Amino acid sequence: MDLRGTIDPERPLLVVALPEEAAHLASDLPVLLTGMGKVNAAIALATTLARGQLPASVVNLGTAGALHPGWAGTHEVGRVVQHDLDTDLLRTLTGQTVGAPLELTGSGPVLATGDQFIADDAARARLATHAHLVDMEGYALADTARRFGVPARLVKHVSDGAGAGAERTWKESVDGCARVLAQWVSDHL
């Protein structure tokens, strides 16, 4: 976890998993680097928000795998789900809804979050039945922000096709994705 800058209640907090994804951010907005995965993301954001100074919003910037052919570009997520939590089974066992889908302010695609880098065609096909994009932090960040009463936006740039070879594609494309995300910040925040 690495917080760069000072949180301002009038301005957004940019939240990014990896330094590679934040490499070209030239904004004077604060940036929180969380580390990879849902646990690191939730702990880093909760620790930061619990210090008492809440930002106007949390804006998660990052890369995502495309679950459908032809998906490219930058997308603001409209709904986020956890793909590695069996919400229905847990509801049957306990009567509680754990990990329900979260509706966001954006009208964009559905993002599936889980602690797996999807680089397998069968996993991609399974996830594509209920989502458009896949990442490893979005749900945890949106849920943590919600619990602190802070609005969240998830902005994802497609880095790979979430199938065979995705790990190679991500490595090759992350710098270009970081440039596009930095430009998105300049244009929209």
Burial class of residue 21, CB neighbours in 10 A (0-12, 13-18, 19+): buried
Residues 48-106 have pLDDT tens digits of: 999 989 999 999 999 999 999 999 999 999 999 998 877 677 667 888 877 889 999 87
Q: Are 21 and 135 spatial neighbours (Cβ–Cβ below 8 Å)?
A: no
Q: Are 6 and 48 spatial neighbours (Cβ–Cβ below 8 Å)?
A: no
Q: Which CATH class is domain 2-188?
A: alpha beta
What mean pLDDT, rounded, does the chain reach? Answer: 94
| pTM reported for the whole predicted model | 0.93
pLDDT score of 90: 66
Of 7-11, 39-43, 120-124, 139-143, minimum mean pLDDT range: 120-124
